Chain A
Amino acid sequence: MSPDVSAPVAIAVESLDAYYGATRVVRDITFGVQTGQVTAMIGPSGCGKSTLLRCLNRMHETQPNARVEGEVRLEGVDIYAPNVSAIGVRRHIGMVFQRPTPFPTMSIRDNVAAGLKTLPRSERPGKSETNDIVERALRRTALWDEVKDRLNASAVAMSGGQQQRLCIARALATSPKVILLDEPTASLDPISTQRVEELVYELRSEVTVIIVTHNMQQAARMSDHTLFMLAGDMVEYAPTSQMFTAPKDTRTEAYITGRFG
């Protein structure tokens, strides 16, 4: 179901079902996300797009009574295989949430380096290497010039937009292959939103990005492919330009033109 079958696939989802207790909230979804592209997931509230996103880095199972069936392959390896650890998966697939969550007890530098601290000892970078990684991550999120003089200051003394960019830098520091963004600009002002959108679009050269958004215009602005979900089902998955100009499914067209949402 991937738009361009010849392109390399970063994440391949096959017959994915997600349950909360006995309720199936994600129904039999199959698609492939291409490497180095931004894929947006859109759909009305409660359609299961956030749940689907959380299944991709094994965060769904952290909730009580949550269950996943099906396969999710990261570069060919099924992340739900019995011998694969969830923690290892999450180091390779980063996630940024709707509300910025800098760790309040850590400085800006320690926040960005937080993901590095849990690496196994053999892989953990030394102090100067950590500082380099922190600087690189902050430069990529356009925060370096703003915070380079106060890296030891508390991370909560920043604006919402800066905090969200910090969270993105934190996710980037571990060099993940894929980054998942769950409505990252929903709680930001328009200017910060624009900055985050630009930065996410630029990231695609290094990481594959999957972004859930309830804002269709945002999906149209910044994604290469879009996936439309409705009540747990995947309705359509197409290149963004095509989906927004000539959607194949009538339900997609109804949603995009605002007939429901």
Chain B
Amino acid sequence: MTAATPAVRQAKRGATPRSYRDMLAASTARTIRRRQTVSYVMVGLTCLAALIATLPLLFILTRLIQEGASSVSLNFFTKMPKPTGETGGGMANAIVGTGIIIFIASSIGLPVGIGAGLYLAEQRGGRLANIVRFLSDVLNGLPSIVLGIFGWQVLVRPFKHFSALSGGVALAAMMIPLVTRATEEMIRLVPVSMREAALALGYPRWRTSLSVILRTALPGIVTGALMAVARIAGETAPLIFTAFGNPFWSVSPTKPIAALPMQIYTYALSPYDDWHAQAWAGALVLIGLVLAISVAARAATRSRFGLGGD
């Protein structure tokens, strides 16, 4: 920064400079002023962009709470859907159904995703590893409704009925790329020195990967897994063709099952006001579920041992 010599002060005041040195000082002061202005403008713009980015979430949350909070009651969690006009109905079957579908999807998606992520992190640049990574990214980008059709083709059509299992499988296909990528990145964060230390102790390679590397990366992997679960908890399109929805109580994996997102969809499109209120409540509960999972994911990284997200 230029010292505030008399020439600079003069130039900043806007007075006419006298010598070459004065002119230089003046132009420097002008440059500094211009740069500072540009800096303030850019900072302001980025702040504005950040605020705008949070607006959709804030709008949704406030609207949901306004419309749905009144309908969320104990009945909502414990009672079955009732025909329109009758009070005291709830979405118990949909809440339980979402839980069951998430459980089925996770039982497939988590082991496959973590295993694939481990393989990719160990192999790094191998030919098969590159192909798998690429295909995983492609799968990640597939529209969810295409996955629903896939689930229908494979698990609904041959058996001639909708089922919770097919919904779980379609959602598992969505989970796998997310868990794979999170696992691979977390394992890559484990320093090579740790692997070498384990090998030098006489650990076989598989044991190094499982007992040392995977265990060290576990908090981060758990975070990735929970984020994947939060993502699929709200998916509707894949379930339309597979789980199909069910107005009655059902926990069987081989029968159609209700799920919160689908129930919301059905109720929202109906002509009945009390069902609309229930749909708002369902949406609020769903967001609450996703939020709870995300918070749990952050809490999981505060582990005493190991590496994790920040």
Contact = CB atoms under 8 A, between A and B. Distances in A.
Contacts of B191: 101
Interface string A165-209: 001001100100000000000000000000000000000000000
A91 interface: yes
A103 B197 contact: yes
Contacts of A119: 202
Interface in B252-310: 304-307
Contacts of A156: 305
A23 interface: no
B201 interface: yes
A117 to B, nearest CB: 8
B199 interface: yes
Contacts of A97: 193, 196-197, 200
B204 interface: yes
20 contacts: A62-B199, A97-B196, A97-B197, A101-B193, A101-B194, A101-B197, A103-B198, A104-B305, A104-B307, A105-B212, A114-B201, A118-B202, A118-B203, A118-B204, A118-B207, A119-B202, A154-B304, A156-B305, A171-B200, A174-B201
B256 to A, nearest CB: 43
Interface string B19-36: 000000000000000000
Given A114-B198, A114-B201, 7 more contacts: A62-B199, A91-B201, A97-B200, A101-B191, A103-B194, A105-B216, A119-B202
Given A97-B193, A97-B196, A118-B207, A105 B201 contact: no
A57 interface: yes
Interface in A83-110: 87-88, 90-91, 94-95, 97, 99, 101, 103-106
Interface string A135-176: 000000000000000000010100000000001001100100
A132 B142 CA distance: 57
B281 to A, nearest CB: 42
B203 A104 contact: no
A106 B203 CA distance: 15
A87 B306 CA distance: 26
A248 B203 CA distance: 42
A154 B307 CA distance: 13
Contacts of B201: 90-91, 94, 114-115, 118, 170-171, 174
Nearest to A59: B200
Nearest to A62: B199
Interface residues of A, number: 27
Interface in B175-202: 191, 193-194, 196-202
A90 B200 contact: yes
B122 to A, nearest CB: 12
Counting chain B CB atoms within 10 Å of each CB, the highest count among A88, A104, A106 belongs to A104
A118 B197 CA distance: 14
Contacts of B199: 59, 62, 90
Given A97-B197, A118-B202, A154-B305, A103 B212 contact: yes
B43 to A, nearest CB: 38
B304 to A, nearest CB: 6
Contact of B305 (A106, A167, A171): A106
B216 A103 contact: yes
Please indicate which of the listed interface residues B200, B204, B212, B304 has the most CB atoms of chain A within 10 Å of its own CB. Answer: B200
A105 B216 CA distance: 6
Given A104-B306, A106-B305, A90 B202 contact: yes
Contact of A87 (B194, B204, B218, B307): B204
Contacts of B218: 105
B215 interface: yes
Contacts of B193: 97, 99, 101
A62 B305 CA distance: 27
B305 A105 contact: yes
Looking at B193, B202, B307, which has the most chain A CB atoms within 10 Å of its CB? Answer: B202
B184 to A, nearest CB: 18
Given A104-B307, A105-B305, A154-B305, A57 B216 contact: no
Contact of A104 (B198, B202, B207, B216): B216
A90 B197 CA distance: 11
A227 B76 CA distance: 79
